[in-house]
Amino acid sequence: MAEIPTKYKHHEVEDKWRRKWEEWATYRWDPTLPREQTFVVDTPPPTVSGSLHVGHVFSYTHQDLIVRYQRMIGKNIAYPMGWDDNGLPTERRVQNLLGIRCDPKLPYDPNWKPEKKGKKDKSIDEVSRRNFIEACGVVTAEDEKAFEHLWRHLGLSLDWTDQYATIDDHCRGISQLSFLDLVERGEVYNVESPTMWDIDFKTAVAQAEVEDRPRQGLFYDIRFGVEGGGELLIATTRPELLGACIAVVAHPDDERYQPLFGKFAVTPLYGARVPILAAEHADPEKGTGILMVCTFGDAMDVEWWKTSGLALKQLIGRDGRVLPANFGEAPFESVDAAAAQRAHDEIAGLFVSKAKKRVAELLAEAGSLPGWTGVALVGDPRPTDQMVKYYEKGDRALEFVPTRQWFVRVLEHKDELLAQGDKIQWHPAHMKTRYSHWVDGLNQDWCISRQRYFGVPFPVWYVVGADGEPDFAQPIYADKSNLPVDPLTDTPPGYSDDQRDAVGGFTAEPDVMDTWATSSLTPQIQSHWGTDDERHKKLFPMDIRPQAHDIIRTWAFYTIVKAWMHSGEIPWYHVVLSGWILDPDRKKMSKSKGNVVTPDDLLVEYSSDAVRYWAARARLGTDTAFDPAVFKIGKRLSTKIFNASRFVFMQLEAAVGDGDNPGVESITEPLDLALVERMRTVIDQATRAFDSFDYATALQVIEDSFWSFCDHYLELVKLRSYAEEDTPGRRSALATLSWTLGAFLRLLAPFVPFVTEEVWSWRFADDGRPSVHTADWPVIAEVEAVPHPDHEETYQAAVEVLTVIRGTKTKAQKSLRWLVSNLEIRGSERHREALSPVLEDVLRAGNVAADGVTVSDGMGLEGQRFEVIVELADEMPE
RNA sequence: AGGCGCGUAGCUCAGUUGGUUAGAGCGCAUCCCUCACACGGAUGAGGCCCGCGGUUCGAGUCCGCGCGCGCCUACCA
């Protein structure tokens, strides 16, 4: 047996066990075992963006608690680590960190090496796509190390031999395989269509990545002419799109405008003839009840335009600037082309915000309406609160820009996708509603193409037509057996590389996939879908998907989509959702708010066990305020475990030395039987809680009973176990201490893996199974041989009397060891019977004079079992 | 504007299918260095369970209506 230190030093202990676990391969998945014995976790691959905060620690601990329990009930755990290192966050981070931008037209420079610039160096270097991707690789490798260090520090029981990165060959291959499979199934298509577009990132974005932000906008009231006489007043927040106006619409039932339907309006400044039409989406209550439709001011415009058959007048470019246009030529016809051109030239090349102001100025000038002498702008612009769509990572509002994009068909599968959601168990259950709402509310297919550089390329080329342009109707797909490919450097099947970009040859699809197109495949990535059937069958569908609730509409949704499309299955049986960490003002902790607490200092100050304890107290789906007080409680628990264990081990060592711990068959004393009985309940409750992923309830039950064990049982049993001769009473005490502590260590192991492992190693570990984390989760059958106590309330009766004795001493300001000269206990027959078998233990613990005790018939006080009268000795003998 | 969740001690949170006098920890107060532990321990004071109605013998718990908070959808005329 090892030397037991007198103080618990968490740094040393944690370091030791981190190394041991690695050496022992404690957390390794065994690929030879069948699916039924396996518990598979779809570990969230964190976005490798260099920022770590306590939110990460929080949710990853939740997974680990569940995993550690499953491991102890005998499951073979598949708990890999993935890294989400492709996509925009990485690109952006690399750009900022290294001061580079990607220009795909540049040739690769083999001598270029990524280097961090000084903080004051704001210069930007243009590099080729391949150089850029290499730079991303270097930066993410560093970030991944930081994450790995944190995870290991925290004691996550990940299998570090099983890792993937979403940009690695394996993941690119699976992503491309998925794409090709969807092509074969007809679930993917590419089309040129107005798409939500971020003007800074210069890429299309999907519905799920869009958020509405409140903005203070201005309503401009603008006069439009009506052909044949009269005029209209249009209220708009986007006067800069006046040149893109294709129609004016009002509600079909709106009597004010019914006479105008079928006529034409004439726009100010631009002099465009546009039809006045009825449209259901026009709200008579809003603005003037009549509005202009532009290409494109908002999603409604897009939808309406698609069914209108009217020409497209695109005036916003991919960079967010107003495009030039030739007025007088289709589709920019004008009753006064020269005036229109003059007006438009004023704003062409400006960003939207500037163009808006300039157009407003022009509208305020006399003669802004062709053929009119009046001014088009009526009154001052009126402030209005509007909600504007932004890319969630973007800083400027999205525009609708017609571009060619790849889409996955989801709109036509809503019913099936809802049904898939019903087959999955959500924890907490009400989170399923969020999924259902999201699916219900879908209004666009999933746009999976991004006009970026760092991502998984589409395995696609196009035939180059006689006009030298790609023929998008003739895509050439990569061979499935030959993935991954990069169409920019690889040659499509049946072609040679000298045909690249040549007439009659091929050209590469330059886009990369949405990062979710890859991370939606984390189960398949892990199971090696399509490349290793045997492994796939052992890992898919998975048991749990742990994640935060804010990405139900993205990660959970897309993963369900892919699993359903590829194999008609659900990707996992359970989704377990962690809440958020809130700062003390109850705001979500996030990098952008600057209220982030970094976890490293907490781990050092309070210990990994203490931080895990804090996370474990939060129930699934519940947001939790960041509260350092909870770390302290966790630390106190660890210390208590250490000290209580020291006590037990000192007793055991004194009695049996290095010999075997006494077995449960020696447990005979009534107090000990009562404790074992309580442990049966604890085991039962904790097990049931863990079986439904409710680690927080399990912790509460275990922790409460552990403190009771320390505060009451240990005090009651102490003197019996101190006895120097080998009596049945002492043997029973030692056997109970040994078994109960062993059970507690196992029950607590998922929560506080370091201190429990340390203590376990002193006396419980055996050579075959050295770790508490691979020991068996406690079961009631272990104490089958231990009889039930005669009275249900024995333990509580003992605690009650002892509490009164302690209270009396405390109120008298005496030490707890002070002698009780007289003790009178009055209670009912039932209660006296419950107490009597353990009275001796109580008297010893309370230091009651043997000849001063009377127990008599009576009634308890105020809901108590007993009336206890305590008389303290005048002086403490000796 | 709809939907979901929440509102319990100064703070952080438990409160199973409605059932005696509503719990824990932190914090606070007072005391105790007793051979596991002062990185302790004992004891104690703190509650109109958001409000108003209703169902019931009985409501923190169920129903309705409010109020407040968070989130998810929707909303650029």
Could you give the CA distance from residue A153 to residue A611 in angstroms, rounded to a whole number? 11
Strand B close to A700 by CB, under 7 A: yes
- Beta strand A542-548 pairing with A449-450: unpaired
What tokens appear for A390 in the block?
A: 């932004």
Q: Which residues contact A179 (CB under 8 A, 6 or more apart)?
A: A188, A448, A458, A459, A513, A517
What pLDDT does residue A249 have? 94
Nearest nucleotide, CA A860 to C1': B21
**Do the beta carbons of residue A88 and residue A147 sit within 8 Å?**
no
What pLDDT does residue A250 have? 93
How far does the CA of A205 sit from the C1' of B60, in Å? 47
Is the pLDDT confidence value at A118 over 90? no
What pLDDT does residue A390 have? 92
What pLDDT does residue A90 have? 84
Could you give the CA distance from residue A756 to residue A741 in angstroms, rounded to a whole number? 10
The dihedral region occupied by A367, where left means phi > 0, alpha psi between -120 and 50, and beta the remainder, is left
Position A589 confidence tier, pLDDT thresholds 50, 70, 90: low
Could you give the CA distance from residue A180 to residue A188 in angstroms, rounded to a whole number? 9
Nearest nucleotide, CA A626 to C1': B12
What mean pLDDT comes out for the span A217-226? 91
Per cent of chain A over pLDDT 90 is: 70
The residue type at A87: G
Strand B close to A650 by CB, under 7 A: yes
- What's the mean per-residue pLDDT of chain A? 91
User: Taking the CB of residue A346, how many other CB atoms lie within 10 A of it?
Assistant: 16
The residue type at A449: S
What mean pLDDT comes out for the span A645-653? 93
Could you give the CA distance from residue A811 to residue A813 in angstroms, rounded to a whole number? 5
What pLDDT does residue A587 have? 66
What mean pLDDT comes out for the span A702-712? 94
Is the pLDDT confidence value at A338 over 90? yes
What pLDDT does residue A1 have? 47
Position A585 confidence tier, pLDDT thresholds 50, 70, 90: low
The CA-CA-CA angle for residues A66, A72, A73, to 5°, reads: 90
Cis bond upstream, residue A484 (ω within 30): yes
Is the pLDDT confidence value at A582 over 50? yes
Q: Indicate the DSSP class of residue A149.
A: H
User: Taking the CB of residue A310, how many other CB atoms lie within 10 A of it?
Assistant: 17
Could you give the CA distance from residue A741 to residue A672 in angstroms, rounded to a whole number? 13
Strand B proximal residues, A:259-288, Cβ < 7 Å: 282-283, 285-287
Is the pLDDT confidence value at A267 over 80? yes
Strand B proximal residues, A:351-390, Cβ < 7 Å: 384, 386-389
Digit-coded pLDDT (tens) for A828-874:
898 899 999 999 999 999 999 888 888 989 887 767 788 899 999 88
Identify the CA nearest to A172 among candidates A73, A85, A280, A283.
Answer: A85
Q: Indicate the DSSP class of residue A366.
A: T
**Do the beta carbons of residue A213 and residue A388 sit within 8 Å?**
yes
Strand B close to A836 by CB, under 7 A: no
What pLDDT does residue A774 have? 96
Could you give the CA distance from residue A513 to residue A556 in angstroms, rounded to a whole number? 18
What mean pLDDT comes out for the span A354-375? 84
The CA-CA-CA angle for residues A520, A526, A532, to 5°, reads: 120
Is the pLDDT confidence value at A2 over 70? no
Beta bridge pairs of residue A81: A163
The dihedral region occupied by A556, where left means phi > 0, alpha psi between -120 and 50, and beta the remainder, is alpha
Strand B proximal residues, A:605-634, Cβ < 7 Å: 617, 619, 622-625, 627, 629-630, 632-633
What tokens appear for A376 in the block?
A: 């088009």
Could you give the CA distance from residue A806 to residue A800 in angstroms, rounded to a whole number? 10
How far does the CA of A711 sit from the C1' of B41, in Å? 9
More confident: A528 or A137: A528
What Å distances lie between residue A183 and A25, A180, A460, A506, CA to CA?
42, 5, 11, 19
Identify the CA nearest to A525 among candidates A81, A844, A826.
Answer: A81
How far does the CA of A368 sit from the C1' of B77, in Å? 21
Beta bridge pairs of residue A290: A250
**Do the beta carbons of residue A400 and residue A321 sit within 8 Å?**
no
| CB burial string A252-276: b at 16+ within 10 A, e below | eebeebeebeebbbbbbbbbbebbb
Q: Indicate the DSSP class of residue A724.
A: S
Per cent of chain A over pLDDT 70 is: 97
Is the pLDDT confidence value at A765 over 80? yes
- Beta strand A163-165 pairing with A81-83: parallel
- Crossing angle of helices A129-154 and A88-98, in 10° steps, is 100
Strand B proximal residues, A:166-225, Cβ < 7 Å: 207-208, 211-212, 217, 219
Identify the CA nearest to A159 among candidates A169, A151, A150.
Answer: A151
Strand B close to A865 by CB, under 7 A: no
What tokens appear for A9 in the block?
A: 């030093």
Strand B proximal residues, A:56-85, Cβ < 7 Å: none
Is the pLDDT confidence value at A459 over 70? yes
Is the pLDDT confidence value at A513 over 90? yes
How far does the CA of A585 sit from the C1' of B5, in Å? 19
Does this model's pTM top 0.80? My answer is: yes
What tokens appear for A101 in the block?
A: 């931008």
Digit-coded pLDDT (tens) for A807-821:
999 888 888 889 999
**Tokens 């309070």 map to which residue?**
A606
What mean pLDDT comes out for the span A752-764? 95
Q: Which of A314-318, A349-353, A637-641, A860-864 has the lowest mean pLDDT?
A: A860-864
User: Taking the CB of residue A8, how many other CB atoms lie within 10 A of it?
Assistant: 22
Identify the CA nearest to A448 among candidates A653, A119, A259, A204.
Answer: A204
Could you give the CA distance from residue A266 to residue A268 in angstroms, rounded to a whole number? 7
Is the pLDDT confidence value at A494 over 70? yes
Is the pLDDT confidence value at A752 over 70? yes
Digit-coded pLDDT (tens) for A160-180:
998 999 988 999 999 999 999
Q: Which of A77-81, A141-145, A580-584, A822-826 has the lowest mean pLDDT?
A: A580-584
- ipTM beyond cut 0.85: yes
What pLDDT does residue A61 have? 95
Nearest nucleotide, CA A639 to C1': B39
Beta bridge pairs of residue A322: A316
- Name the 3-class secondary structure at A574: strand
Digit-coded pLDDT (tens) for A80-100:
999 998 888 888 888 888 999
Distance of CA A32 to the CA centre of its chain: 31
Digit-coded pLDDT (tens) for A230-253:
889 999 999 999 999 999 999 999
